[in-house]
Amino acid sequence: MHREDPRRRTPRTDVVLADPLLAEPRARLGDAIVKQAVSRALERCRAGEVTPEDVPAAAHAALPAYAASLRRVVNATGVVVHTNLGRAPLSPAAVEALTVAAGATDVELDLATGRRGRRGRSAMAALAAAVPDAGGVHVVNNGAAALALVTCALAAGRSGRRDVVIARGELVEIGDGFRIPELLESVGARLREVGTTNRVRLADYEAAVDDDVAFVLKVHPSNFLVSGFTSSVGVRELATLPVPVVVDIGSGLLAPHPRLPDEPSASAVLRDGADLVTASGDKLLGGPQCGLLLGTAELVESLRRHPFARALRVDKLTLAALEATLTGPVPPVAAALAADPAALRARAETIAAAIGEVPGGVAEAVDSTAAVGGGGAPGVELPSAAVALPAPLAEALRLDDRLPVVGRVERGRLLLDLVAVDPADDAHLVEAVRRCATRCADRCADRPAG
């Protein structure tokens, strides 16, 4: 007797989409994402891999957890501010502020009067309170935008002064081929390079400053150190020049930090006489991506009112997260920089003991050396602790379908450095390693001997 091929009973797309099992995901993720999962499940049905009755369940199982493709990962690299992992992780207070700001807010409304209010007034007040040496503050959408706005306003305006004086050793390139001199020139500035790669003196600046110079720019080197036969000119000396002094400190340290003695802070630089300071908000400050502008009240107000500032305006989400970072509890980056090595070692020992044996060895607690990252404090080593595992587990942990863990392979071992790992994730870390170790063991068992 001829039997009907079950694949002929493959349901239509609209029938599967109407299944009650997919009602909640459609409301949460949207029809487009759910329909893609249904299409893939139907293809598997036609290939005989899934029965017609199981198509809705197969589609449901293939759905992502969130509508956005970004996935949460555990940063066990030992780099506190890791650019590839989104730089600074936000504090719980900042995350909560983002959730509130996602709806209708009073971002530009004075609820007391019912009239338009100053945009970001609370966030600006929080930033001003954090850097009392600044007469004025403003925020744009990233650090490069801050420097571009300064250049556009001061060196490409109607004053006729287009030249920017900068030391040759500070013509830096940072990540992804981004170069400071190209940014300055792209918004209309002309560069006057002074000194040599390794040495510059105040006399070099004095000789370069004339009526065509808009400002002197000092850039903190990012991701590298120049040592040996070197000399540079400090902000206090540059402040004696008859033009504004703009300092790009880059990493966004607002006040001096005991573990980062050579990292310039906005407060110290302003006290030394800088007219303007630019920095990033998503590095050592530990906040959202944004560019900070701090300086004299007159200059900052002129930047805020410049037409180009509108193109660089931050949204309500950034303002909310920035304010919560400044006024709320210690953000994760600050907590990592202040982490006690002994406490990290104790956590590593607990985690290693919980993991135990893995394919190719045993989990072991070891001392480690972490880095600041994000272009901040190059060369500074942070004492830390890690869980050492066999190197082959690195790929399995990165590809874990529940919670990817990114560590670093060093001297033939995978190190899961804990300096930037939230203690609340320790249990998840153990579960991820056990899960990946089991999969690795199963794969090894399935391989033919010899």
Q: Where along the chain do the CATH 3.40.640.10 domains lie?
A: 91-328
Q: Is 2 exposed, middle or buried (0-12, 13-18, 19+ CB in 10 A)?
A: exposed
Question: Between the CA of residue 98 and those of 102, 143, 163, 288, 326, what are the distances in Å?
Answer: 6, 21, 40, 10, 14
Average pLDDT, the chain: 92
| 3-class DSSP string for the chain | CCCCCHHHHCCCHHHHHCCHHHHHHHHHHCHHHHHHHHHHHHHHHHCCCCCHHHHHHHHHHCCCCCCCCCCCCEECCCECCEHHHCECCCCHHHHHHHHHHCCCCCCCEECCCCEECCCCHHHHHHHHHHCCCCCEEEEECCHHHHHHHHHHHHHCCCCCCCEEEEEHHHCCECHHHCEHHHHHHHCCCEEEEECCCCECCHHHHHHHCCCCEEEEEEECCCCCCCCCCCECCCHHHHCCCCCCEEEEEECCCCCCECCECCCCCHHHHHHCCCCEEEEECCCCCCCCCCEEEEECHHHHHHHHCCHHHHHCCCCHHHHHHHHHHHHCCCCHHHHHHCCCHHHHHHHHHHHHHHHCEECCEECEEEEEEEEEECCEEEEEEEEEEEEEEECCHHHHHHCCCCCCEECEEECCEEEEECCCCCHHHHHHHHHHHHHHHHHHHHHHHHCCCC
pLDDT for res 64: 86
Give the mean pLDDT of 389-405: 93
Closest Cα partner for 220 from 374, 368, 334?
Answer: 374
Q: What is the pLDDT of residues 26-71, one digit of tens each?
A: 999 999 999 999 999 999 999 989 999 999 999 999 998 888 888 8
CATH number of 91-328: 3.40.640.10
Residue 225 in this model has a pLDDT that exceeds 80: no
Residue 222 banded pLDDT, cuts 50, 70, 90: low
Beta-bridge partner residues of 365? 387
pLDDT for res 159: 65
Q: What is the pLDDT of residues 82-100, one digit of tens each?
A: 999 999 999 999 999 999 9
Residue 447 banded pLDDT, cuts 50, 70, 90: low
The amino acid at residue 332 is P
Residue 6 banded pLDDT, cuts 50, 70, 90: low
Residue 349 banded pLDDT, cuts 50, 70, 90: very high
pLDDT for res 160: 73
Q: Which fold has domain 74-83+334-446?
A: Aspartate Aminotransferase, domain 1 (3.90.1150)
pLDDT for res 1: 45
pLDDT for res 272: 97
Q: Where along the chain do the CATH 3.90.1150.180 domains lie?
A: 74-83+334-446
Q: CA 309: distance to chain centroid? A: 23
Give the mean pLDDT of 420-437: 95
Closest Cα partner for 318 from 36, 124, 43, 70?
Answer: 124
Give the mean pLDDT of 303-324: 96
Report pTM.
0.88
